[in-house]
Structure 1
Amino acid sequence: MTTEKEVLIIGAGPIGIACALECKKRNIDYIVVEKGTLTNSLYNYPLNMTFFSTSEKLEIDGIPFISNNPKPTRNEALEYYRRVATSNKLHINLYEEITEVEKQVDGSFIVASEKNTFKVNNIIVSTGFYDIPKLLNVPGEDLPKVSHYYKEAHPYVMQKSIVVGASNSSVDAALEIWRKGGDVTMVVRGSSIGERVKYWVKPDIENRIEEGSIKAYFNSEIKKIKKTAIIIDTPEGIKTINNDFVIALTGYRPDFAFLETLGIELSKEGKYFPKYNPDTMETNVPNLYLAGVICGGMETHKWFIENSRVHAKVIAADISDKINISKRCS
């Protein structure tokens, strides 16, 4: 049986939830479909992660986000977005992956998921970018000792861990593992710790490196990963380091293949920017919209919760205008 809706929102992250709230306020019939749990990306963040943004900048639809800390934690964010979704009785299908989207002659879409089939007039893609890690593409990357995600420090206690990268996630992991009793070495492609690292954390990691508590190889890259060691290329030449775990936090990318199956045009100049109208967030495919971080292509730092919350209002307003025009013409 096919369920008919005006709008289908793909992704139940903060921006997907914001889109659902805007649809509800405008009496637009909608459904949110999420392949994982509610706010799946946030759920998979490190357990002790602290946001860069303050809580009021993570709020959606003006619903207050009260935090016990100057910067909210992962657990506080999960609680906030969970409360927003449940208290507003939003229509969200979880653990339901979209398998096929087919554009119809009349401009509508037939969307098949693992559990349902929908016929919708509009689609909002708000899928984020956290599912697909940027790989090192080196021999041994598929060994069990290698992970592209970091959850907590406990597995790395009393072990020799390599942390790859110098972003917020890499720095947080290195510091937490070291403080829990792990032996940490950082391998960084650039010449220093990233400039976007949280300002209250950056001096901490730089001081730990300077005093030798955390070892760091800058302007360096992993060339091969072995069961008990790694081989890295450094300015001083090739080095072999005994090692138990590799935590490669080199970033993530959106699912560009999925966007292309939808017919969305992507620039091929290295950044893979999707084509959309910034005034409406509508893509080159009529009635197909983008919201949130996915709008930035490979520049995953360009859009985040704080500055993409507005996408929900922009998209809902455009869809509402189309509905009103259709009613007047019928």
Structure 2
Amino acid sequence: MLPYLLLATLLSVCKGQNTTSYSNGLDFTYPYPVYFYNFTSQQQTLQMAYMDISPPQLHTNTLKGVIALLHGKNFCSATWNVTIDVLLKDGYRVIVPDQIGFCKSTKPVGYQFTLHQLALNTNNLLHSLGVASATIMGHSMGGMISSRYALMYPNETSRLVLVDPLGLENWFALGVPYQSIDASFAMELTTTYASLKSYQQLTYYAGNWLTSYDVWIAMLFSIYQGPLGRQFAFNMAQTTDMIFTSPVIYELPSLKVKSLLIIGDKDTTAIGSKWAPADIKPLLGHYNVLGPQVAAMVPNCTLLQFADLGHAPQIQDPVSFHKGLLDWLP
């Protein structure tokens, strides 16, 4: 368990944190009020946590539009904090959910995790909030969900933004063997603060590290260590299986909406790289190559590359990232 004083210090880095109540990740104080969407799915009653923020002192008819931000596998909706503020300032209403199985949302037992199901859950959430059309923006795993969302609901997706999305290559076809959910679960149970940090430093931040990133490691690790940690670890194993078995690369040419693909060229993220054979590992996760290849496949797609950034450009270089994003948005 992360020592309390260190955890409290890390938490103070994040905007609006209440360091006295943060004990297990589920209590992490988000930058804006958190609401819960209650619904039934797969015969279970579930709660989906989300933030819904509109620009202050703006009437609805002056809004530029609605943007839904979908987090990645090792993230929560709170990790979008800087992006939320940038989009609010630019005149957008921003809706940011925690997917089922993650962070403040229900961690269900016996749930079938698929990209289709998570996209459906997100679509139902937006409908419950009176949103008939939105820009869907996803990072990492959230990019996969966003792609699936746009394929399922093209008439309800005004624009699509993919930030270093997973699924741009078929890891099994490249030689990575299938790993069972049980085996992935066993790996999840070995998660430590150090293992999370070393992995994210290598892939998410291209070998660099700032102390401001520590708060996100603390947030994630404390969920593993909290009262729902074992079920969270199993849900993470289930979502690893979902990602590995559902590459979206083959369907991306069918996208109908205007899209922006944002890539950190130094990103090397690849599900299965941990258990891939030694001769296969070097073939995986070359986003500097995957980005241009995918952009050429997708109709009406704009590619934005950052030569020196990794898997999380919105965190690593928020100024450059958000300038590129706002330059593309209407």
TM-score (norm 1): 0.31
Q: As a proportion of its length, which structure holds more strand?
A: 1
Q: Which has the larger radius of gyration?
A: 1
